[in-house]
Structure 1
């Protein structure tokens, strides 16, 4: 039986209408380099500072620490404006899925490549919280770990926060390749790709996983979340 479900935020549990993709593209291209859509997609779901540095380098630039920090500010400003123009909302039926899992005694954690100053206001705008009476047990941002996805550290940090010690009893779900890689690297018993992001079923199925589902709404239907072997 799964004891902890760890979900990605944007594109997995939160519909943000492609704003992160566009903000990252803008932050990189405003340095004067071009970014290929395939390269941009590869770095979706990762720590955003790491993504900016890598994509600028791929484009032929020389990303020093000062440039990365400046462009991260560009990313944040662009994303904030996009979120004001088109407010994020929960992915269809995500609220119900989280509620159902918690009713079964499964703890819920969200992980994200966002830093605290982006992730926490976003969650607050949805009314999602780890406070008493909230719908979450833990939130782990890129600020809390030495490396973001595909490293397993955010998942392991979520386990620490939730008091779960057996990785085989952890479910990880996300909409990007690095979500699947992080879940696999963490040793999670269940690694789920969801089709609510930018990738197709075929693209996700080309990487290690246990399930590929239409969305998080289908996670409570998995036998592993119902104590069925």
Structure 2
């Protein structure tokens, strides 16, 4: 029985119009390094300093501490600019899916390659909250359109980001889930799927709400490929 569903953020639960891709590519390009579409896709979903380091090196640059730090700062600034111009929105059907899972007794957590500061800013902009359910609040009394998730783990919370399994294990700890056989993981990138598989989660799902196509996700050998997180309650039969 699944007792915890751990979902990626951008491209999986949140539609950001591809802003993360653009900010990552533009920040590295501004640092004087060319970024290929293949390399950009490979490093999506990874903790962003690590992704910047890899993309600089793959483009023939020298990823010293100063350059990585300056490029990361520029990434943050560009992402804020792009999100201000086009604020992120929930992926269609995801708030309802989260509510359905929680109503069935399944805790829902988010994991992300963003830093905690960035992730919390995005969630605040959406009006989403993180934490245990208020014993006095029922689904009927919660504000219309509100979303609460049980836990959040970010790229700077752990020793290594995806495809390492540590963010998944961190939200297991936060929600009191001790058995990976009770965990479902879903994300829209190859490293999301790999992280789920590396964690030992019972189910690791690739979703098509991001930029990656079905064949590329299936190449990672997930448990299943679904159109969206919105399809997960039906997939689980809840």
| TM-score range for the pair, normalised by the shorter chain length | over 0.9
Pick the aligned partner of 2:174 from 161, 168, 171: 161
In the alignment of these two chains, the number of paired residues is 225
* Offset, 1:135: 1.2
Would you say 1:18 and 2:18 are equivalent positions?
Answer: yes
CA displacement at 1:30 relative to structure 2: 0.9
State the alpha-carbon separation in 2 of the partners of residues 112 and 88 from structure 1: 15
Aligned-pair CA distance for 1:120: 0.3
Residue 189 of structure 2 corresponds to: 176
Cross-structure match for 2:215? 202
TM norm structure 2: 0.93
Alignment partner of 1:212: what SS?
strand
Secondary structure class of the residue paired with 2:35: coil
- Rounded to whole Å, the distance in 1 between the matches of 2:88 and 2:117 is 16
Aligned to 2:7: 7
| Superposition deviation, residue 208 in structure 1 | 2.1
Q: Structure 1: which 4+ aligned runs deviate by more than 2 Å?
A: 131-134
Equivalent residue for 1:121? 121
Which stretches in structure 1 are left out of the alignment for 5+ residues? none
Question: 1:107-144: CA deviations, max 9, x gaps?
Answer: 01000000011100100111111245561100001111
Structure 2 counterpart of 1:43: 43
TM-score, scaled to structure 1: 0.96
2:138 aligns to what? none
Q: CA RMSD in A?
A: 1.0
